[in-house]
């Protein structure tokens, strides 16, 4: 299914772009905790991770739970495996 967009729609959408004040980060720590008022007063919090071997010379570390996506589940893992599978999307040049 194709979605058509007219140039007028694009111009209207760009006329009032979002600004950085719409970004709310007060509830997001991404593995860090502020320990004081200074710019450099942060400590890392341990995160539960899982390392996945992509090839013999490449691996990826997955964060198993975060503020945005919640805990990883078998369904999320299955969907990720399908959408990142070389059989689903062959990487041939």
3-state secondary structure string, 21-66? HHCCCCCCCCCEEECCCCCCCEEECCCCEEEEEEECCEEEEEECEE
- Of residues 59 and 21, more confidence is placed in 59
Measured distance CA(48)–CA(42) in Å, rounded: 19
Does 35 have pLDDT greater than 50?
yes
pTM of the entire predicted model: 0.40
φ/ψ (deg, to 5) at 44: -75, 145
Percent of the chain with pLDDT over 70: 82
User: Over the Cα atoms of the chain, what is R_g?
Assistant: 20
In this prediction, residue 69 has a pLDDT band, given cuts at 50, 70 and 90, of confident
pLDDT given for residue 78 in this prediction: 82
Query: Residues near 28 by Cβ (< 8 Å), separated by ≥ 6?
Result: 67, 68
């Amino acid at each position: 299914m194709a979605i058509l967009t007219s140039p007028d729609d694009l111009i209207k959408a760009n006329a009032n772009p979002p600004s950085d004040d719409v970004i709310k980060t007060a509830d997001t720590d991404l593995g860090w905790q502020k320990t004081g008022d200074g710019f450099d007063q942060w400590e890392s919090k341990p995160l539960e991770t899982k390392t996945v071997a992509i090839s013999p010379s490449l691996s990826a570390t997955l964060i198993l739970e975060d503020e945005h996506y919640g805990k990883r589940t078998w369904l999320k893992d299955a969907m990720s495996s399908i959408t990142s599978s070389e059989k689903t999307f062959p990487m041939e040049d």
